[in-house]
Amino acid sequence: MSAVQPANTYQPKGMLIDGKWVGSASGAHFTVENPARRKPIVDVPRAAAADVDAAVDAAERAFASWKKVVPRERGKLLLKIAEAIQARSEELARTIALETGNALRTQARGEANMTADIFRYFGGLASELKGETVPLGEHVLSYTRREPIGVVGAIIPWNAPVMLGALKIAPALCAGNVMVMKTAEDAPMGVLMMADICQEFLPAGVLNVLTGYGPEAGAAIANHPKIRKLSFTGSTEVGKIIMRAAAERIVPVSLELGGKSPSIVYPDADEDWAVDGIINAMRFTRQSQSCTAGSRLFLHEDIFDSFLKKLEKKTTALKIGDPLDEASDIGTIINNKQYTKVCKYVQDGLDRSDAKLVFGGLPPKTGPLSEGYFTIPTVFADRSNDWRLAREEIFGPVLVAIRWSDEAEAIRMANDSHYGLAAYVWTHDIGKGLRAAHAIESGWVQVNQGGGQTPGMSYGGYKQSGLGREFSLEGMLDSFTQRKSVTVNLAV
Ligand code: ADP
């Protein structure tokens, strides 16, 4: 099935249906490409409706007994999976770096470790699937149960595929559901490896993982009559398709979608720690392919030029190169389509006489970086919040710096977006920082830090950035359980 792969990376065995590694029913497959070389890595099955049917049937059969397993026992299995992932974390990290182009040292290792941590976190929460008693009177016993929903259809993207997959698998299974997951076209290998590890511990059919295209296998999941819950991470555009499909069958849906997150820097934060934080928040070392990327930088006018100078110095010192090379800080964009899209945004910025290129620009056309989808961190300034580069999610390393003088105006601009996923505020004045945090319309605001999510925090979007929360106990309870009230008359 595969070409020569770099050492210590995972070799897919097919897709996982009912505990077995299988090809697609049609025999069709597609090729996964190494974005750093523009060369094929491996072929994986191309699932379609028949494969989704087989996976859903297997999941439904498994549900009958999985839902009856005592939650703490399910939790223990997740804890074993966590340790098994941890034991193979380097192989997982290298696999992620190979297929996504995310640099091993700065990104992929963190993702592999976080994946183990997600299983660990949810494994420990199994006994929190508690109900309540309701005081309806001395002669009535009324209580609630948190019951699983059934077969969950999960569709995930390629940007942090394994972590985002774990965020659905671990809570859904902990709560007693079963799952049919579709990996992203460009990054199925790491998720298949995670499924392979899960499968050592789980009964057949509890977790099924398919590889295939969105409009084909993804649509078959979204529209499947036996799927009782849809959980999607990806673009807002496809999120709307998923939600429409869910509306047809009245199934609950969780959506983690796009963002155009603001960073507001106050004049007292013209310092190195804030510059480091902005680089982190912008996810430059993940080529900014992150829905939480702080891609609109609102700088106070007093520090506008000096802050950008510091930002240029630190950002241009980052090393762009082979994702598997320990020396690389920044890897590649995922595929040609995204690369072309990012380049078009950069070109658009360059073509605007009223926008200033602060640093960066189009990627090199020759030399080692031209062998892959490498882009370079780019910052434009001097335009306001109203142009295309400040409104659309670029999903690439293109940052727009916007000047502000009045705090209310900065917050108004920050909120002037149909997205509301993340936001960042930078100031020593904690009162100001928190006032801004409360005024910003986002599901997640960080003050004086630009890091990623941590298990335990509820993560999700306002406005068109999504519905529902992940990463937390509440997220698990709200997204993957349904409440049943049982009322008993004690008077008879
Ligand atoms: P991104 O390009 O950021 O990954 P997409 O929303 O295009 O975002 O893709 C996210 C996931 O949604 C992928 O697994 C993709 O295959 C899937 N997908 C794309 N189109 C559809 C569709 N029409 N129906 C169901 N899933 C889809």
Q: What is the pLDDT of residues 267-294, one digit of tens each?
A: 999 999 999 999 999 999 999 999 999 9
In eight-state DSSP terms, residue 428 is S
Distance from C-alpha of 235 to C-alpha of 238, rounded to nearest angstrom: 5
Q: Which fold has domain 15-257+463-486?
A: Aldehyde Dehydrogenase; Chain A, domain 1 (3.40.605)
| Amino acid of residue 276 | D
SS3 at position 248:
helix
pLDDT in the model for residue 384: 86
State in Å: Cα 301 to ligand 1 middle: 40
Domain residue ranges in the chain? 15-257+463-486, 262-447
Task: Write the CB contacts of 99 (distance below 8 Å, at least 6 apart in sequence).
Answer: 32, 34, 35, 41, 186, 187, 188, 189, 190
Q: Mean per-residue pLDDT for 225-249?
A: 98
Does the beta carbon of 219 sit less than 6 angstroms from any atom of ligand 1? Answer: yes
- Which residue in the list 291, 326, 393, 470 is annotated as catalytic? 291
> How far does Cα 164 stand from its chain's mean position?
5
| Residue ranges of E strands in 355-421 | 356-359, 378-381, 398-404, 419-420
Structure-token match 């999976």, residue found:
81
CB atoms within 10 A of CB 215: 11
Predicted local distance difference test score (pLDDT) of residue 3: 58
- Going 346 to 350 to 353 to 356, the CA torsion angle's sign is positive
The C-alpha atoms of residue 420 and residue 30 are separated, in whole angstroms, by 35
Q: Whose CA is nearest to atom 25 of ligand 1?
A: 218
Percentage of residues of the chain with pLDDT beyond 90: 98
How does residue 382 score in pLDDT terms, banded at 50, 70 and 90? confident
- pLDDT (tens digit, 9 = 90+) per residue, 113-127? 999 999 999 999 999
Beta strands at 422-426 and 444-447: parallel, antiparallel or unpaired: parallel
Active site residue 474: no
Does the pLDDT at position 1 exceed 50?
A: no
The answer to whether residue 420 scores a pLDDT higher than 50 is yes
| In the chain, % of residues over pLDDT 70 | 99
Helix ranges restricted to H, 67-209: 71-87, 89-100, 109-123, 161-174, 189-201
pLDDT of res. 437? 98
Q: Please, what is the Cα angle at 433 between 428 and 439, to 5 degrees?
A: 170
How far are the Cα atoms of 87, 149, 456, 467, 474 from residue 129, in angstroms, in the given order?
28, 13, 15, 21, 10
Give the CATH number of domain 262-447.
Answer: 3.40.309.10
Q: Is residue 291 annotated as part of the catalytic site, yes or no?
A: yes
Is residue 2 predicted with pLDDT exceeding 90? no
Q: What is the pTM of this model?
A: 0.97
CA distances from 27 to 9, 12, 14, 50, 367 (A): 25, 16, 11, 11, 39
Ligand 1 site, residue 355, Cβ cutoff 6 A:
no
Q: 111, 256, 393, 470: which one is catalytic? A: 256
214 pocket-lining for ligand 1 (C-beta < 6 Å): yes
Mean pLDDT of 178-207: 98
- Cβ of 172 closer than 6 Å to ligand 1, yes or no, is no
Look up residue 117 and give its two tokens. 């941590």
* Coil, strand or helix at 369: helix
- CA of 357 from ligand 1 middle (Å) equals 32
Instruction: Lowest mean pLDDT of 31-35, 311-315, 384-388, name the range.
Output: 384-388
User: Ligand 1 atom 23: the closest Cα is on which residue?
Assistant: 215
The predicted-structure confidence for 131-161, as pLDDT tens digits, reads as follows: 999 999 999 999 999 999 999 999 999 999 9
CB 251 within 8 A of CB 232: no
Q: What pLDDT, on the 0 to 100 scale, is given for residue 16?
A: 98
Q: Measured from the CB, is residue 218 less than 6 Å from ligand 1?
A: yes
Instruction: Output the CA 238–ligand 1 centroid distance in Å.
Output: 6
Residue nearest to atom 11 of ligand 1 (CA): 157
CA 269 to centroid of chain Cα atoms: 29
Strands ordered across the beta sheet of 133-134: 133-134, 140-148, 481-489
What distance in Å separates the CA atoms of residue 357 and residue 305, rounded to the nearest whole number? 13
